[in-house]
Amino acid sequence: MSLPSASSNRIVLAVVASTFFVGFGGGVIFPILPNLGEVLGISAFMVGLILSANRFTRLVANAPAGALVDRIGTRKPFIVGLAIEGVATFMYVVAILSPLPEFWFMLARILWGVGSALVFATAYTITADVSEADSRGTSMGIVRAGITFGFPAGLVLGGVVSDVWGNVEAFVLAASFAALASVIAYLIVPETHVEGEQDSVKPWDIETSVPALTIGFVNFGLYFAYIGVLFSTLVLLLDARAISIFGLDAQGSSGMLMAVTVLAGAVFTLGGGALSDSVGARVPVMIGFLATSCIGFAVLAFGSSFEILVLACILIGAGQGGVGGPLTALLADLTPEERVGRAMGTNNVLGDVGGGLGPLVSLPLVETVGFEVIYGLSAIVPMLAGIVLLVGIYAHTGRMSPTIGESVG
């Protein structure tokens, strides 16, 4: 849909605010559950499964969510998705107070997966709808930064607030902000994607084009190393190496470090998207930031002091964030408008495979092979993602680095 510039900016900012506030629920659990699991009698494997449950749920929900967007539009799925995530966040409170914490935590993460599938498919589609090709990287970067900034806020809630006031208080505060996100979306975000009745779209009608699969596999690698490995093991690394930040315990310290990582990611998400618009090409920007992520994991593997770990987390966050804006913008550039929802669904599916496999692989193996090996292998993942990107884009466009004008679908 063609919208005036002022209206487009207002919509993008509303999407940013909504995804920011609801994102608290995504981060709040990470600093708490790995340590709380032992207190509640939850095994390490089950903790990993709970942390990954939302991503495995999205494996089923992402494709239908993307197809639904192309069928009925963005507004209703966006608002409903935010509301579901709010309910899921409140269920963390129920889990702590329940004699069956595993069940309630698992149910909460499954619901979070359903809600976030709707939110991610719609947020990026809304942004693609209201932005032009030459500013799409910037717009995608802004929205992705909003999603990303919510996560470190949740990490701070989970780490610091739980350390100072308690776990229940941290979860209640996150749920309150999630409710605010739904209100903002309901009041401001209009329909952007469909006009009138659309042809029937089957929920299993996913996008399997070369651009969608290429960008999806890059997303797979990013989320495997970043969310799947780093965020699942950082609290254990700090405990094992006896590193404390501002006198906080491992939970609070890991929350602060994760927040630094994601803050760097959010800043460079804005920069990466804008830089790709300025350069007029997405691929060179992404390759540079993938290399940055690789260096970050190499530093993390052997870091034994607070300063070194902060540097590693900044580099990893910068690499992840810098790729994010250009990545989703490139997907929108290369996809026909009527299939953008499905393409975003495919991208989210593959990202969630990576993010879901990460904790299941890293948490059990870190005790046997050590942190150095796990992080060393994670450093290779961005290199492989860069190769996949170059090969896939060349196969589709005949060039390894098409300009924005050449790549618009």
Q: What is the pLDDT of residue 108?
A: 92
pLDDT digits over 290-338, tens only?
A: 999 999 999 988 877 788 888 999 999 999 889 988 998 888 888 887 7
> For residues 190 and 386, what is the distance between their CA atoms, to the nearest angstrom?
37
Going 314 to 319 to 322 to 327, the CA torsion angle's sign is negative
Map out the domains of the chain as residue ranges: 5-191+205-407
CA angle 42, 46, 47 (to 5 degrees): 75
3-state secondary structure 157-200: HHHHHHHHCCHHHHHHHHHHHHHHHHHHHHHHCCCCCCCCCCCC
Report how far apart the first and last C-alpha atoms of the chain are (Å, whole number).
16
Q: Are 229 and 374 in contact (CB under 8 A)?
A: yes
Task: Kindly report each contact of residues 369-374 with a partner whose C-beta sits within 8 Å and lies 24 or more positions away, as own/partner.
Answer: 371/233, 371/237, 371/240, 371/301, 372/301, 372/302, 374/229, 374/233
Q: What is the CATH number of domain 5-191+205-407?
A: 1.20.1250.20
**Those residues with Cβ within 8 angstroms of residue 34's Cβ, 6 or more apart along the chain or in another chain:** 47, 232, 235, 236
Q: Are 345 and 207 in contact (CB under 8 A)?
A: yes
Q: What is the pLDDT of residue 2?
A: 44
Q: What is the pLDDT of residue 117?
A: 87
> For residues 261 and 239, what is the distance between their CA atoms, to the nearest angstrom?
18
Q: Which amino acid is at 112?
A: W
> For residues 203 and 282, what is the distance between their CA atoms, to the nearest angstrom?
30
pLDDT digits over 42-66, tens only?
A: 877 788 788 778 877 877 888 788 8
Tell me which residue of 106, 104, 394, 352 sits closest to 216, measured CA to CA: 352
Q: Are 383 and 294 in contact (CB under 8 A)?
A: yes
Q: What is the pLDDT of residue 1?
A: 47
Q: Which amino acid is at 250?
A: A
Q: Are 279 and 407 in contact (CB under 8 A)?
A: no
pLDDT tens digits for the chain (409 residues)? 445 455 778 888 888 888 888 888 777 777 777 767 766 778 777 887 887 788 778 778 887 888 888 888 888 899 999 999 999 989 988 988 888 888 999 999 999 989 988 998 888 888 888 877 777 888 888 887 777 777 767 767 777 777 778 778 888 888 888 889 889 989 888 877 666 545 555 555 677 889 899 999 999 999 899 888 888 888 787 777 777 676 667 667 777 787 788 788 878 888 888 888 888 888 999 999 999 999 999 998 887 778 888 899 999 999 988 998 899 888 888 888 777 778 887 887 888 788 878 888 888 887 788 888 888 889 999 999 999 999 999 998 888 888 876 655 5
> For residues 379 and 103, what is the distance between their CA atoms, to the nearest angstrom?
35
Q: What is the number of other CB atoms lying within 10 angstroms of the CB of residue 391?
A: 13
Q: Which amino acid is at 285?
A: V
> For residues 286 and 245, what is the distance between their CA atoms, to the nearest angstrom?
32
Q: And the tokens for 28?
A: 């709040």
Tell me which residue of 319, 306, 335 sits closest to 381, measured CA to CA: 319
Beta partners for 281?
Answer: 403
pTM (predicted TM-score): 0.73
Give the C-alpha distances (Å, rounded to integers) separating 149 from 16, 208, 368: 9, 30, 33
Q: What is the pLDDT of residue 5?
A: 58
Q: What is the pLDDT of residue 405?
A: 64
